Structure 1
């Protein structure tokens, strides 16, 4: 199993690390014996991992060598609005590729322009201040109307943040702290990605073929860009940072040993960092863009044993994710302490502003509160640093994601949060017919941001809305 390369700074100052990334087309070996054209950060899929250490600012200079505009969103980040990756803040390609509308016309959505868009030609610097908590974040393309196609082609990578609290715990680290990007893909006979775009050039007509409007799912499960990989492990604890980078597939991950008995995880974190205490989990349901940090203790096994990560809601080729083979006996100085972090639970009160966001499927589109995305319309103006109580209502299955904010799940259909709702989150799965109540704490960075469904085809078809931090 490949491990994404950690990117090295191009230069450093007393408080800032500078990185350089080129977005480019490349060929990758994914299916044995075939070559797959990809779009990658530094020509790789996944892109290189950026590590942000405590108290450090990160500046990433992106150069777009692709034939279409791109936008970079650091998912889960606390960022100034001009570095967040607003979907019309294009990095335009080389002028030889011509001009591009900010919001092309699609079924049910007129072509629009965005006077507030911050557009650059070919290069852009994104500035990420020190992050408030250690966490498994990620960066991906966020271009208006074409996010699904861009991410499917490979524009995704990890951005891992650390803090002193986490570093003092003695959790598995180094080669035993492993990011796992899970993503399903379909392939044509020649090894190319099979994405049902209406316009494969991604120049003018957004959207997918009618039979894929619920979301694009593939029949090959990739982990770190490899199909159903095998990882050799020591008889030791490992920390796995699991990211669901699929466009539209939800997984229910579980571990099985050779007897097909369930083994279980120890969950230690979620989207925005560590939980208060370790949480045993028989399985983990992970929707698009969610992250779960887990520890697997392989010291209970002997050399030669095999443990398989399965997808309990998959079938056929999507029922298996990857396999671990215990190949080396070794000592292990890591630990999982009984207390990990301080999580102050938010209790709703009468002073909180309350809002309702209805996620609805229309005839040929996906709306929030009856509206398709409009860059000129703000669904909510929220005071900087405030906490509000939002109720998300869904008539389909939607992973709700909000930028530049963090949240706690208060209830599901009036009952207690579910088994995967603990800790601070930026993406929460809302099942068909559910009402999920969220306490959302907004950043002190002011400006225009978005929230949306992270089923990327739904997002591209209009299921996104503005909010402003004022």
Structure 2
């Protein structure tokens, strides 16, 4: 089961198929080193605009110096009734910027991000994930903090480890691995259970039904307690599924269909102050309690290149955008001549496939970790210009720096649009997926209670918490009471919820029936947003609502008065399709004050098409190990057999 590569993605015209057939020992890592920054071949064109620009002086690297790298394409081989593929994890030296020394990383097939696995929907797929990693984790983990509170200009904005202390044990982590194909609807035994680890020299065998809609998924390491470091070390890649419906649309393809895999990193400095290329995972620990802020690195990578540029034709392009960062939320805008271009991004797909029609993004496209969006962009409107994709903060001028919120350098990448007559005949279609439909009330269950998950700020262990809840009779309860939350909805109905589980190993798990539909309600009582991910399932977002969370007593850890409805909030374009991750909480700046940002209640309709044991959790990797709970999906007939021999 050797891998099959798309020849046209090879650097320097090297043909990987020929190399593999010939039995050569040259692997992808060596090829990447030979041509560290490569793009798809382009036809001759007029000189493009734009050019390199200096970044913030402290970051020492030039923006837009290197071209966007397109990951090699890996296609499985036909094996009768199913397809097969072998993907190898390797330790490799990877070039992330031409002014930065090669970076030692853990990779899939020697490249970062890993190869894009491209499949045909409806063809079952079996993958052998081979662990050939060597050496300990190639990441230096450090933290820093002020006793008096958060810094107005945290050290996480800058490279190096000065003023920080090393996190013990991280440098000694050996290369165990567990691969999760994020968004693939497969049984629990093939999902990459994070405690079923694979040692170097061993392999994880996974069978994927691969019968869902044409979509953009991604694969990454899911090792329990360690994923915030192993994914940061480079273990992530894209997975694309295609079908006849998608092909019939005539969407931009070939060089005009481009993945944009977003992430952020930080690096070490030597004694002279020069960048070393050593990966540094740096987080701020706030106040005397040492509350950990989620990780945010100052260098933005797209497809493994720091602040790249892409030469484009004046025509429509299709972008598959994936946020693979540990914790950073990307609020993306396209700027031309320094000004936002409303509607430049037309959303046509979400986490789990295409939507019914294109939806323009008038503000920012907000993608939290794990979320994906497919967008169309017409560069015909920017002939001879160099628009930029930037990351923004709410309340900050788009394209401006915001040091307090870890946005020293807001630029993501530059597009260089050729100055010639528009090419191509593509027209934005009024209908994208004729088979997609939004969930209606008739699709929702009427015979079972809603699931409630409450997200709470740091407790006794100084860590954010995920509470599973059950509805109870409030009679005899004194408020506030630990683990008890009352919620008053838009109709004035008050529900009383009691915590049933919080820690990963608290016991009884949410258990759902195979092929059932459930309504889950995520209530965020914390200041920070949380991207919530459900394994073994997919869902549609039904509503997003603001709630007054002033009644929550943070000391008692319960509500003194009901958490009350304030207003409904419109769903964002990328939230209107099938999903597996949803952000709960504002994507904007976290404001000062006793309650931080407004509380949010996000309601989703969840489908469970596969069976097995999985998890649901926050996809901020710095939160994953303590905001995670087991989830079990079982055949409906089995649910009624409990307690019987």
**Fold agreement, TM-score > 0.5:** yes
1:412 aligns with 2:478: no
Among 612, 624, 628, which residue is 1:464 paired with? 628
Structure 1 residues 8 and 367, CA gap change in structure 2 (3 angstroms): same
CA distance in 1, matches of 2:447, 2:116: 41
Among 221, 237, 252, which residue is 2:300 paired with? 221
Structure 1 residues 211 and 12, CA gap change in structure 2 (3 angstroms): farther
Match of 1:192 in 2: 278
The structural deviation recorded for 1:166 is 1.4
Match of 1:149 in 2: 229
Among 351, 357, 365, which residue is 1:271 paired with? 351
CA distance in 2, matches of 1:7, 1:378: 40
Match of 2:507 in 1: 377
Q: Which one is further off, 354-363 or 48-57? A: 354-363
1:69 aligns with 2:176: yes
Instruction: Answer with 1 or 2: which has the greater Rg.
Output: 2
SS at match of 1:458: helix
Among 105, 109, 112, which residue is 1:38 paired with? 105
Match of 2:437 in 1: 343
Q: Which runs of 5+ in 1 are unaligned?
A: 95-121, 198-209
Check the 8 A contact 1:172/1:335 in 2, yes or no. Answer: no
Cα displacement string for residues 163-206 of structure 1 (whole angstroms, at most 9, x for unaligned residues)? 22111111111221111111011111211110149xxxxxxxxx
Match of 1:386 in 2: 516
Q: Which runs of 5+ in 2 are unaligned?
A: 1-67, 134-173, 270-275, 284-288, 394-400, 468-498, 546-564, 586-596, 635-645
CA distance in 2, matches of 1:244, 1:15: 33
- Bigger RCO (CA 8 Å, 6+ sep): 1
Structure 1 residues 65 and 235, CA gap change in structure 2 (3 angstroms): same
The structural deviation recorded for 1:372 is 4.6
Structure 1 residues 226 and 261, CA gap change in structure 2 (3 angstroms): same
CA distance in 1, matches of 2:502, 2:175: 24
Check the 8 A contact 1:220/1:317 in 2, yes or no. Answer: no
Structure 1 residues 91 and 255, CA gap change in structure 2 (3 angstroms): same
Q: Which one is further off, 395-404 or 414-423? A: 414-423
Match of 1:86 in 2: 193
Among 389, 395, 418, which residue is 1:309 paired with? 389
CA distance in 2, matches of 1:33, 1:469: 47
1:365 aligns with 2:463: yes
Cα displacement string for residues 107-164 of structure 1 (whole angstroms, at most 9, x for unaligned residues)? xxxxxxxxxxxxxxx1122111123211110000000000110110100000111122
The structural deviation recorded for 1:6 is 0.4
TM-score normalized with structure 2 length: 0.64
Among 427, 432, 448, which residue is 2:613 paired with? 448
1:320 aligns with 2:411: yes
Check the 8 A contact 1:274/1:340 in 2, yes or no. Answer: yes
Match of 2:49 in 1: none
SS at match of 1:393: strand
CA distance in 1, matches of 2:121, 2:181: 17
Check the 8 A contact 1:358/1:368 in 2, yes or no. Answer: yes
Match of 1:289 in 2: 370
The structural deviation recorded for 1:89 is 1.5
Structure 1 residues 297 and 231, CA gap change in structure 2 (3 angstroms): same
Check the 8 A contact 1:134/1:162 in 2, yes or no. Answer: yes
Structure 1 residues 218 and 148, CA gap change in structure 2 (3 angstroms): same
The structural deviation recorded for 1:404 is 1.5
SS at match of 1:216: coil
Check the 8 A contact 1:233/1:328 in 2, yes or no. Answer: no
SS at match of 2:301: strand
CA distance in 1, matches of 2:543, 2:524: 14
Cα RMSD (Å) of the superposition?
A: 2.1
CA distance in 1, matches of 2:332, 2:131: 35
The structural deviation recorded for 1:21 is 1.2
SS at match of 1:325: strand
The structural deviation recorded for 1:352 is 4.3
Match of 1:429 in 2: 583
CA distance in 1, matches of 2:290, 2:569: 36
Match of 1:253 in 2: 332
TM-score normalized with structure 1 length: 0.86
Check the 8 A contact 2:291/2:463 in 1, yes or no. Answer: no
SS at match of 1:181: strand
Check the 8 A contact 1:169/1:336 in 2, yes or no. Answer: no
Cα displacement string for residues 28-60 of structure 1 (whole angstroms, at most 9, x for unaligned residues)? 111324121110001211000101213212221
Structure 1 residues 168 and 211, CA gap change in structure 2 (3 angstroms): farther
The structural deviation recorded for 1:328 is 6.6
